[in-house]
Structure 1
Amino acid sequence: MTDAQLAAHLAQAAGRILLEVRVSGMFSPKALGKAGDQTANQFLVAALREQRPDDGLLSEEMQCDGTRLQKSRVWIVDPVDGTREYSEERQDWAVHVGLAIDGVPVIGAVALPGMDLDGQGGGMVLRTDQPIAVPPGADRPRMVVSRTRPAPEAIAIAARLGAELVPMGSAGAKAMAIVLGQADIYLHSGGQYEWDSMAPVAVALAHGLHASRIDGSPLVYNQAEVYLPDLLICRKADAALLLDLIAQVQAEAKAETN
């Protein structure tokens, strides 16, 4: 099984496990998120250690012992990205399984177990080794933002573009909305960690999209400090304009505070 096949298989399997936990009726809404996180993490960690014992591993739900920092190949996983949405029985949550090689997001799979795009149920998995055609952008740009705390930069850029704001849950769901043509821009500057973006960024790049920090620099993974606070995912044709607007907005905000 190739790395890409393994990532997709594990993301899909973890998604199925999470759906079973959710429909079991064994947990209150308050306890469901924690139960899902723990169950999916246990599965993913055990499977990766069995299948790729020589690789490093970083998971949101696992204490990091630092050994990954000496590894070239490091799996980075988020067992439930969007725990709140998962526990509220929404669709906009995801499972992230990705592989960074020398800090570069090379392999990724993002499962969207709650999505039912064709009315058949079962969710979907977007992956680096099976890219799909990204639909063309809308005449009026659509920008995905946090349901509860949209980034100030995103609000300011949306106003300048006349963009429609599309509130959505997990980072993975937002990133995949660009791949699926459900939105055009994902701009985040409110704080994230490596597991929030690694697999989605790998998938976005494999689909020919632009993905970077909001200053245009590359997203680098498997760092000692796993805080990776911002990113921009969009079509390549829109990247230069958006990066320029971000720089303008940040410069204006800085001038106002001085």
Structure 2
Amino acid sequence: MSAALDDAALAAHLAETAGRILLTVRESGLFAGKALGRAGDQVANQFLIHALREQRPDDGILSEESKDTPDRLTKSRVWIVDPLDGTREYGEGRSDWAVHVALAIDGEPVIGAVALPGLDVTLTSGAPVALQPANTPPKMLVSRTRPAAEALAVAESFGAELVPMGSAGAKAMAVVRGEADIYLHTGGQYEWDNCAPAAVAEAAGLHVSRADGSPLRYNNIDTYLPDLLICRKELADDVLRLAADYSPNS
């Protein structure tokens, strides 16, 4: 692979390849359940880290599965990756898991690719998809195992149909693909959970922000980034207003 490959193409290639690796690990039949999740995490992470160091040696890296170092804080360009978003779903043989590869430049989510290997789909900021017509009534994504109380309250006030789903990347890409209209998360995330989804969603023309409407910023000392809103732009003001009404601090 040429080092001249542009950032968006590199992100997509890395996410797709890591996804194929994860499918191979799962199909090997050598692991099951949590052991499968651990193996997938480690193998995909090793591939991504080695590939990024080879292809972009001057850039910083932040990965969920690698020990963080302060070196990245000195970099303008930082790759933020989640080798396996939705470890539970992956280990259960489901399709709602993802691989995230993103490039933050000066703290902004500029480049992103989210592979959905179980669906044989990769979405990237380099080739934004056309938004589909909105659903009527709106469809709102929530965690299939631990939906946040704020999201449930907003959905009820909004008259939205709830769509339970697994990983953050799968939920965010469901909005990009038109399968749902709102993804509001207030239950706690880290930078690697939402950097790539944010970049892909923004490139597609969706509203992307924190749950209070403030911008998402990356490559922070503290990587905890607990809330996220990805939705159709015409719904954003109402969702943000309702989210504020149901915020624990309101």
Which of 77, 80, 100 is residue 76 of structure 1 equivalent to?
80
What is the letter of the counterpart of residue 8 of structure 1?
A
Percent identical among aligned pairs is 67
Deviations 1:75-107 (A, max 9, x none): 000000000000001000000000000000000
User: Is the Cα–Cα contact under 8 Å of residues 34 and 88 in structure 2 kept in the other structure?
Assistant: no
What is the letter of the counterpart of residue 113 of structure 1?
P
Aligned length: 246
State the SS of the aligned residue for 1:148: coil
State the SS of the aligned residue for 1:114: helix
Query: What is the distance in 2 between the residues matched to 1:129 and 1:30?
Result: 34
Q: CA deviation at 1:28?
A: 2.4
The alignment status of 1:111 with 2:96, answered yes or no, reads no
What is the letter of the counterpart of residue 90 of structure 1?
R
Which of 152, 166, 176 is residue 163 of structure 2 equivalent to?
166
Q: CA deviation at 1:29?
A: 2.1
User: Is the Cα–Cα contact under 8 Å of residues 62 and 81 in structure 2 kept in the other structure?
Assistant: yes
Which of 172, 179, 183 is residue 176 of structure 2 equivalent to?
179
Deviations 1:47-91 (A, max 9, x none): 000000000000000001110000000000000000000000100
Which stretches of structure 1, 4 residues or more, deviate above 3 A after TM superposition? none
State the match for 1:136 in structure 2: 133
Which of 36, 43, 48 is residue 40 of structure 2 equivalent to?
36
Q: CA deviation at 1:190?
A: 0.3
State the SS of the aligned residue for 1:232: strand
Query: What is the distance in 2 between the residues matched to 1:238 and 1:133?
Result: 18
Q: 1:28 to 1:248 in 2, by over 3 A?
A: closer
Q: CA RMSD in A?
A: 0.8
Which of 212, 216, 219 is residue 219 of structure 1 equivalent to?
216
Query: What is the distance in 2 between the residues matched to 1:2 and 1:28?
Result: 37
State the match for 1:229 in structure 2: 226
The TM-score with structure 2 as length reference comes to 0.97
Structure 2 unmatched runs, 5+: none
Alignment of 1:230-249 (within 5 A): 230-249=227-246
The alignment status of 1:20 with 2:24, answered yes or no, reads yes
State the SS of the aligned residue for 2:131: coil
Query: What is the distance in 2 between the residues matched to 1:254 and 1:29?
Result: 38
Query: What is the distance in 2 between the residues matched to 1:30 and 1:167?
Result: 22
Deviations 1:220-242 (A, max 9, x none): 00000000000000011111111
The alignment status of 1:95 with 2:99, answered yes or no, reads yes
